[in-house]
C-alpha cells in the first residue's frame, strides 16, 4: 500500500511553495515588489503627447522615471508631477502610468492641478 505523507512548505489550496516570513530582507522585498509591479506604462494620451511634442525618453530617462515613481509611492503619493530636464510628466503613482507629458515650451505659465506631490529629477 502506498504511503501518504504531508508535503510541507506549500499552500494547501494551490500547492505553491511558500516563503517563510522574514526570509527576505527589506531591500530584497522592495526589489521583488518592483519587479512584480512592472515598469512604468504610458497612457494613450501620454504617448500622443510624447509623439506630437517630439519628446524622446531613452533607457536612462526611463530608469530615472521608474525610480521617481518608486520614491513617490514610498511617500504615499497618488498623482505626481515629475520634473526631469526639459520635460514634465504627470504620473498616476498607484497605476504606475504616465498620464501626460509636457515639453519646455509648453511648461511656461502652465498650472498643474490634481497632483499631490512633485519629484524633481
Q: What is the CATH number of the domain that holds 85?
A: 3.30.2310
Residue 110 in domain: yes
pLDDT confidence bin for 82, thresholds 50/70/90: very high
* Whether the model pTM is above 0.75: no
Residue 19 lies inside a defined structural domain of this protein? no
Task: State residue 98 phi and psi, 5-degree precision.
Answer: -75, 125
Q: Which pLDDT tens digit goes with each residue over 24-44? A: 566 676 565 555 556 899 999
For residue 20, pLDDT over 80 is answered with no
For the ranges 6-15, 34-43, 84-93, the lowest mean pLDDT is seen at 6-15
Tell me if 97 sits within 8 A of 91, measured CB to CB: yes
Residue 67 counted as domain residue: yes
Give a yes or no: residue 11 inside a domain.
no
- Which residue is listed with cell 522615471? 65
Residue 21 lies inside a defined structural domain of this protein = no
Report the distance separating Cα 42 and Cα 61, nearest Å. 14
- Mean pLDDT across 65-74: 96
Examine residue 65 and state whether it is found in any structural domain, yes or no: yes
Q: Is residue 48 part of a domain?
A: yes
pLDDT value at residue 109: 82
Report if residue 98 sits inside a domain. yes
Q: List C-alpha distances in Å: 99 to 33, 43, 93, 105, 107.
A: 22, 6, 10, 19, 16
Q: By residue range, what is the domain housing residue 55?
A: 40-120
Dihedral sign of CA atoms 56, 58, 64, 68 in order: positive
Judged against a pLDDT cut of 50, whether residue 23 lies above it is answered with no
For 12-34, give one letter per residue: b (16+ CB within 10 A) or e: eeeeeeeeeeeeeeeeeeeeeeb
Number of domains in the chain: 1
Amino acid at each position: 500500500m502506498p504511503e501518504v505523507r504531508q508535503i510541507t512548505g506549500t499552500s494547501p489550496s494551490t500547492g505553491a511553495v511558500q516563503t517563510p516570513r522574514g526570509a527576505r530582507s527589506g531591500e530584497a522585498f522592495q526589489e521583488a515588489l518592483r519587479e512584480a509591479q512592472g515598469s512604468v506604462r504610458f497612457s494613450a494620451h501620454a504617448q500622443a503627447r510624447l509623439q506630437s511634442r517630439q519628446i524622446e525618453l531613452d533607457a536612462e530617462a526611463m530608469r530615472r522615471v521608474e525610480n521617481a515613481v518608486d520614491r513617490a509611492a514610498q511617500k504615499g503619493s497618488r498623482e505626481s508631477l515629475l520634473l526631469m530636464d526639459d520635460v514634465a510628466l504627470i504620473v498616476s503613482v498607484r497605476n504606475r502610468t504616465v498620464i501626460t507629458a509636457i515639453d519646455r515650451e509648453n511648461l511656461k505659465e502652465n498650472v498643474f492641478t490634481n497632483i499631490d506631490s512633485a519629484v524633481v529629477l
